[in-house]
Structure 1
Amino acid sequence: MGSKKKAKKSQNDVSDEVEAIKEAKEHKKQLEKLKETQPEFYEYLKEVDKELLEFDADDDDVKIGDDDAETDLDDTGVDDEGDLDDSDVEKAVVGSKKGEQSVRAIITMEMVESWCKGIQENEKIAPVRSLLKAFRVACHLAEESDEKSSERLTTMSKAVMNKVMVETLTNMDGILRNLMNLPAYGGKKEKLIEVKSTKNWKKYQHLVKSYLGNTLHALNQMTDAKDISFTLKHLTRSSLFFAAFPAFLRKYVKVALHFWGTGSRELSFASFWFLRTLCVQLGSDCLDECFKGLYKAYVMNCQFVNATKLQHIQFLRQLFVEFMLVDLPTAYQHAFIFIRQLAMILREALNMKTKESFRKVYEWKYINCLELWTVAIRKYGLEPDFKPLAYPLTQIISGVARLVPTARYFPLRMRCVRMLNCIAAATDAFIPVSMLLLDMLEMKELNCPPTGGVGKPADLRTVLKVSKQALKTRSFQEACVSSVIDELGEHLAQWSYSVSFFELSFIPAVRLRNFCKGTKVERFRKDMKELIRQIEANSEFTNKKRATITFLPSDLATSSFLEEEKQSGASPLSKYVATLRQKAQQRNISLTESSVLYGAEPSLSDKMLAESDEEDGGDEGGAIFNSFYLQQKETREKPPEVEKKQKNKKKPKSLQQEAIDEDIVEDLVLSSDEEDEPMDGSPLPEETDEIEMETPKKKKKQKTAADGSVKKVRKLAFLSREEWKADSVDY
């Protein structure tokens, strides 16, 4: 009552504050009775503690309808009309001094329900303003100031806050669209430009600004993926309004890109759908920034990889490829720059031939970028706007596969072969993959007896290279031979209906027979003989049909050769490869519960896309923001000294700033950040007999040269196939 220190109360004690007002009134009455019943004791108190007797309960009794209960709509200084319904506001005293007092306004569930009911039953603007003010309070609960005791504060319970957040995010978009005479859902930027010149927009635009600004503040404070996903999902409906607020648009894009690259599967998809909707409705306003930000966030996720992380990387890869469909011509321009950047890094490795330059290529970031563009070619390879990228990408992948031809990099070479097979299948173009696979069979590590015992089961999908000890194990040899048979079968099966299959398969069949003669492992010999038998059977299958044709090899009629058989999959090799896939799937299941095989990526769920495209989404909200409430409560209850130290402490640069910074993408060199840390836990091979390793002179000069080459990418025009060959390294 007479305390000079300001009382510190948590939000859970709000109900006690109301009771304190009642007790203060009763205490005042007791002091008045004391003057009549015990005048001597009253005089004694007057001399000892005069401040106690001068206590006036009326000062703490805040009248209903006090104007100090106002809360601003936002931090921009907008002049608001239609404040909170003060006739229903309960208030409690926080603390008092002479002539000053701080008041806390309590928002109750009945008030929120009355505002929602008023919005539904009539078209008055006052309930909308009140709900937005309560929404602002819910988003800023952790920012109550203790500096001025005369400042009025507003608070609410956990249930009320959840109700306010859910109701606002669920219904505010429809309310604002109704006020602006906009379509109930969707819309283009041109429509909003027309509305901006109307009287309704000038009258109610501050409501839109308040809604978007407070939601942005809440997103920056949230840490729970469920809260963020719910907010982004419902905010996606209001994407059209960002055309009127470019500053908000840039900030929201940065936040969404951060969540896309660092969040869980559900949060990444919610962020992707938010960004996709923005680009569809606003067009070029944010398209370039989204392409650059998504690619940079993807690269950062690829830096450290394990079996579990690979699954998430595959999911991000599918989302990125799906995002390209928004504007394929623009996607081609960005893809051209990024693919050429990969070519620059490979060229540096081929020219310098140093361990550091090889490390930039033989790392997860580089390989995952190649796989990203391979998936893009597989999906859009027949599109005229995207097909020209298939040739340079094939050249880069072939160069990577041959860069360090040692047995330790057998897993990396197999990934390159899978990528080449995917590109060949997508573009219907012949790529000489068989030579890469047959060269692996001639490596001495596969032709000598295993001296390292059986060893652990080798999973070639989750590593780029293997240790020297693993090279000598029987399990590694078996995994290598099985992979070669699988991929060689896939390659030959693509052309098993070609009129020139006999010529195409002649050299591979000869080299496979030589391997059968030289190997001492009966199991390898048995598997190779079965593959040779299927190749010979397929040659007879095509030659029998070829004997009946009359057209020349250069005629267009060759494209229709065995077309009916191809549709039904009747060739011997197609049937054989189907059994190989089943065996490979069983091997993968035995190694791990979930497959992260590159060629077996599940496509992006159509159900996820359909549910996100629905207007309502079927999400009831529930107690979705409980974790957000507890987070803000913990922030409010921190001691002032701790808060002061945290403010003075220099904040490290966040991941969001690193991934979404507005520097040009061409400056991003996909090299290892850990110069001394080896990939996959072991150093680069020292037994590279084919390539003479040189000691790097000055790393700074090497990096500067690479950076300078990359910065010139912007000036490049779109090159034809011949120009690429003239301007690129001969791989």
Structure 2
Amino acid sequence: MKEDSNLKNSSPMSKKEAKEHIGTLQKLQEKDPEFYEFLKEHDKELLEFNEEDIDDDFESDEEEEETQIDQYDNLDGEAENGEEPSKNVITTAMVDSWCTEIHDGAKIGAIRSLLRAFRAACHYGDDSGDDSTTKFSTMSSSVFNKIMLVVLTEMDGILRGLLKLPPSGGKKEMVIDLMSTRRWKNYNHLVKSYLGNALHVLNQMTDNEMIAFMLRRLRYSSVFLAAFPALLRKYVKVALHFWGTGSGALPVVSFLFLRDSCVRLGSDCLDDCIKGMYKAYVLNCHFINATKLQHIQFLSNCFIELLRVDVSSAYQHAFVYIRQLAMILKEALSGSTKKKTKKKGEEAPPSSTKKRGKETPSSSTSKKETFRKVYQWKYINCLELWTGVVCAYSSEADLRPLAYPLTQIITGTARLLPSACYFPVRLRCVRMLNRISASTGSFIPVSLLLLDMLEIKELRRPPAGGVGKAVDLLSTLKVSKAALKTRAFQEACVFSVIEELTEHLAQWSYSIAFLELSFVSSVRLRNFCKSTKVERFRREMRHLIRQIEANSEFMNKKRTTISFLPNDPTAASFLEDEKKLRTSPLSKYIATLRQRAQDRSDALKESSVLVGDHSSKFGNKIMEDDDYDDSEDEKSAGLLLLGPDSKNNLREDVKKKKNKPSEEVVAVDEDIIGDFILSSDEDSLIDDDTPDGDDSEVEAPPAPKRRNKKQNSHLDSSKPRNSKSKKRKRAQGK
């Protein structure tokens, strides 16, 4: 165009300046025709200047704005007695007139006036509202709403029209290319005014619906933030705050604003958003309850979805944060190994023991702090978050390598404290490992983590604490010592182990090596059936063993029909059709267990305490196979429901126990299975209430009281006293 050639290196002209320039050229032709001819030959473009080629958009329009302002000033009349005129009060008619002018010809004066009114509306009520530089002020709520609605709904399209941009969309490269043009130099202050004033009112508003509406509209103009890095950082900070703490639709709208900004602006915005969202997630998961659990799950889903914008860039952040979790676990594990070496080093020289004695208070507190860093909701929820990331992007080559280190961290967390009080943590870790195994198709040996839970003392003993409250092992991290002795905890522990073990075995129920994978589990389940005295636990275990055996027979029949070797690549596609149809016995059995677990969680949501004879039952529906006699459990629990003949039966049991006291003590106190020892007493490592080595939870038989010589003579008066009997007693005492 002629405009681009004539005004390439000059500032934009108004029509008045253009007329003056044409007049100067005409006078030059009259006064100095020779120089005019010289310009024709060497600079012909300068003389071919045309007034009609000037675009109205490049008009400076300062005089027009001043006349408009003077007109609005004259609406209220001049102040009497020499006083200065007051500020212009914006009316609905003024806003309508600006909108009409913009729609008719997109005049720059009306756009600037509308943005000035928008600025006055955004700063209305501030301390700086009486600033003399502001030309307008708002007085009524209807005018305020009118200005906000008009600007937020139409200003993005108006600015895009001025800058000759597409009506929607665009990326950072488009704005970078635009920044070198003359149009951007003339109108960038309008864009900055719109975004800056909108940010100011976002920080002042408290109504969630209005904030959500503003973010929804500003989302379309987020591409302009590429030209204003300072504003971009402030917008990201505000959106992250609303995403983490908002209610209703505000968190969703805030996340959409952040995601669109990352898509359009690239790594400049993505890095800040990933760091900010991870920090907001950690701050929100310090404590967990039923209502907050849904919000944390929402935050986790949003974070996982944000990583999809750039998976390769997400790997760098994921690697750093997972490494932080590994370092925290390493510190806790080093503290536990030091304590074990201290226990074993009792034969150390006196000098070393004295030094250790001096360091005991500070070292014990530091160990407790290191354990608390791992066994807290913040750490466990971070593991849950990265488990969701690995499972969601298991097919991506960039994030799939993170599965192995994350699996090692989760396994180490589960084995950190093998205490019954922290079985909820172990169950959560097992559930995470099952998810990673199912998504990546990698075998993770979680059966040992579950089978070791069946070897605790609390499951071998009768429930001395009675029925107790219903226990939800998935909504807590630590079970109290009093709850460990209840029947409700025993049922929750056994049923959870069965469900997670079945989930693990069902994933590999179509593997050609299922018989070998399930052999150890079958043996240890049979041992548990033999050792436990609770009939309902035996029934559950026998049912699971039958399902494992049925699945083994199912796989053995399929194995007889194949001819390839185990290392053959075709073994990976073995029984793919059956796996899709879920025809194995364990696949069918796990469906029933999932339904039972869902019923249990629904019942716990309805009421945390279930009253009645079946209060430890999870779920409103009791299975038919649970019709059993609880007389043995009630007797062993201390005879909670005493019958008419209970006293005689109790005396007979006491007499039998007196005949074999040593055997009973060994059966109760011995809880060593191989090299793995589980006890509720091991939580003294991080329990402030009980000192180290406290065995208050072990229900050992009371020690016999010592009798003095007078009591002995009185009690033994009826017995013959001879030297032989005295010698026998002395030998027995020794």
* TM-score > 0.5 by shorter chain: yes
Matched residue SS, 2:88? strand
Higher relative contact order (CA 8 A, sep 6+): 1
Q: Do the aligned partners of 2:208 and 2:250 also contact (CA within 8 Å) in 1?
A: yes
Number of residue equivalences: 529
Residue of 309, 313, 331 corresponding to 1:330:
313
Tell me the SS of whatever aligns to 1:460. coil
Query: C-alpha displacement at 1:155, in angstroms?
Result: 1.7
* Corresponding position: 1:393 with 2:376: no
> Any stretches of 5+ residues in structure 2 without a counterpart?
1-60, 337-366, 609-682, 696-734
Show the counterpart of 1:619: none
Once residues 147 and 321 of structure 1 are traced to their aligned partners in structure 2, the CA distance between those partners, rounded to angstroms, is: 47
The correspondence for 2:486, drawn from 473, 487, 492, is 473
Structure 1 distance, partners of 2:552, 2:440, is: 24
Percent identity over the alignment is 62
Deviations 1:56-90 (A, max 9, x none): xxxxxxxxxxxxxxxxxxxxxx9997366664679
Kindly indicate whether the alpha-carbon contact (under 8 Å) linking 2:311 and 2:399 is maintained by their aligned counterparts in 1.
yes
Change (3 A) 1:319 1:433: same
CA contact (8 A) 2:90 2:136 kept: no
1:575 partner letter: K
The whole-number CA distance in structure 2 between the counterparts of 1:189 and 1:304 is 40
**Residue 241 of structure 1 corresponds to which residue in structure 2?**
224
Q: For the structure 1 residues 332 and 145, does the alpha-carbon distance in structure 2 shift closer, same or farther, using more than 3 Å as the test? A: closer
Q: Deviations over 1:372-400 (max 9, x none)?
A: 00000110012101000000000000000
CA offset digits 1:598-657 (Å, max 9, x no partner):
xxxxxxxxxxxxxxxxxxxxxxxxxxxxxxxxxxxxxxxxxxxxxxxxxxxxxxxxxxxx
Contact 2:117 2:136 in 1 (8 A): no
Alignment of 1:3-14 (within 5 A): none
Q: C-alpha distance in 2, partners of 1:531/1:343?
A: 36
Aligned mates of 1:117, 1:425 — CA distance in 2: 61
The 2-side partners of 1:414 and 1:688 are apart by 26
Find the aligned partners of 1:133 and 1:304 in 2 and give their Cα distance: 46
Does 2:139 match 1:156?
yes
Counterpart for residue 278 of structure 1: 261
* 1:192 and 1:243 in contact (8 A); partners too: yes
Q: TM-score, normalised by structure 1?
A: 0.69
Shift, 1:110, TM fit: 2.3
Equivalent in the alignment of 1:114: 97
User: For each residue in 1:649-704, what CA deviation from the matched residue of structure 2 results, as whole angstroms up to 9, or x when unmatched?
Assistant: xxxxxxxxxxxxxxxxxxxxxxxxxxxxx99x9858767899xxxxxxxxxxxxxx
Aligned to 2:210: 227
> Quick one: structure 1 residues 504 and 395, their matched pair in 2 at CA, closer, same or farther if it must change by over 3 Å?
same
Tell me the distance in 1 between the aligned counterparts of 2:383 and 2:96: 54
Once the two structures are TM-superposed, the CA of residue 120 in structure 1 deviates from its matched residue by 2.5
1:350 to 314, 329, 333: 333
Q: For the residues of structure 1 that align with 2:130 and 2:91, how far apart are their CA atoms?
A: 26
Q: TM-score, normalised by structure 2?
A: 0.68
Does 1:372 pair with 2:385?
Answer: yes
1:464 to 474, 477, 488: 477
Moved more, 440-449 or 113-122: 113-122
- The separation in 2 between residues aligned to 1:167 and 1:485, in whole angstroms, is 61
- Deviation of 1:540 after TM superposition, in Å, equals 0.5
- The aligned residue for residue 577 of structure 1 is 590
Q: Distance in 1 between matches of 2:473 and 2:248?
A: 25
1:413 maps onto 2:411 in alignment = no
Residue 504 (structure 2) aligned to one of 458, 480, 491: 491
Distance 1:89 1:584, change over 3 A: farther
Equivalence for 1:362? 375
Q: Distance in 2 between matches of 1:685 and 1:325?
A: 48
Mapping for residues 202-213 of structure 1, pairs under 5 Å: 202-213=185-196
Pick one of 147, 164, 171 that aligns with 2:154.
171
Q: If you compute each CA radius of gyration, which structure gives the higher value, 1 or 2?
A: 2
User: What's the offset of the Cα at 1:344?
Assistant: 0.3
The corresponding residue for 2:125 is 142
* CA displacement, residues 504-526 of structure 1 (integer Å, 9 cap, x when unaligned): 00110111111111112221111
Alignment of 1:611-630 (within 5 A): none
Question: 1:301 maps to what in 2?
Answer: 284
SS of the equivalent of 1:497 reads coil
Residues 92-123 of structure 1: CA deviation (Å, up to 9, x unaligned): 79999x85447243212222223223323332
Q: Distance in 2 between matches of 1:349 and 1:145?
A: 54
Contact 1:94 1:104 in 2 (8 A): no
1:150, 1:189 → 2: CA distance? 34
Deviation at 1:278, TM superposition (A): 1.2
Q: Is the CA contact 2:391–2:440 (under 8 Å) kept in the aligned structure 1?
A: yes
Partner of 1:24: none
Measure the CA separation in 1 of the matches of 2:79 and 2:538.
89
Structure 1 residues 93 and 403: alpha-carbon distance in aligned structure 2, compared to 1, 3 A threshold: farther
Deviations 1:556-604 (A, max 9, x none): 1111111110011111100110111111111111111699xxxxxxxxx
Decide which of 201, 212, 234 is 1:251's aligned counterpart: 234
The residue identity in structure 2 corresponding to 1:453 is: G
Structure 2 letter corresponding to 1:298: Y
2:517 to 493, 496, 504: 504
Q: Who is 2:468 aligned against?
A: 455
Distance of aligned partners of 1:537 and 1:158 in 2 relative to their CA distance in 1, 3 Å threshold: same
Shift of 1:153: 6.0
The residue that corresponds to 1:527 in the other structure is 540
Q: Distance in 2 between matches of 1:205 and 1:686?
A: 68
Shift of 1:401: 0.3
Check the 8 A contact 1:101/1:149 in 2, yes or no. no
- Work out the CA distance in 2 between the residues paired with 1:561 and 1:298: 41
In structure 1, how many angstroms separate the alpha carbons of the residues matched to 2:92 and 2:74? Answer: 12
Secondary structure of 1:502's counterpart equals helix
- Tell me the SS of whatever aligns to 1:452: coil
Is the contact between residue 92 and residue 143 of structure 2 (CA under 8 Å) also seen in structure 1?
yes
Letter aligned with residue 585 of structure 2: P
Q: 1:307 to 1:682 in 2, by over 3 A?
A: farther
DSSP 3-state at the match of 1:103: coil
Match of 2:251 in 1: 268
Q: In structure 2, do the counterparts of structure 1 residues 157 and 350 end up closer, same or farther at CA, with 3 Å as the change threshold?
A: same
Counterpart contact for 1:102–1:149, Cα < 8 Å:
no
The residue that corresponds to 2:569 in the other structure is 556
Shift of 1:197: 2.1
Distance 2:386 2:181 in 1: 46
Q: Which amino acid aligns with 1:580?
A: L
Equivalents in 1 of 2:459, 2:591: separation in Å?
26
3-state SS, counterpart of residue 577 of structure 2 = helix
Amino acid in structure 2 at the alignment position of 1:381: S
The aligned residue for residue 560 of structure 2 is 547
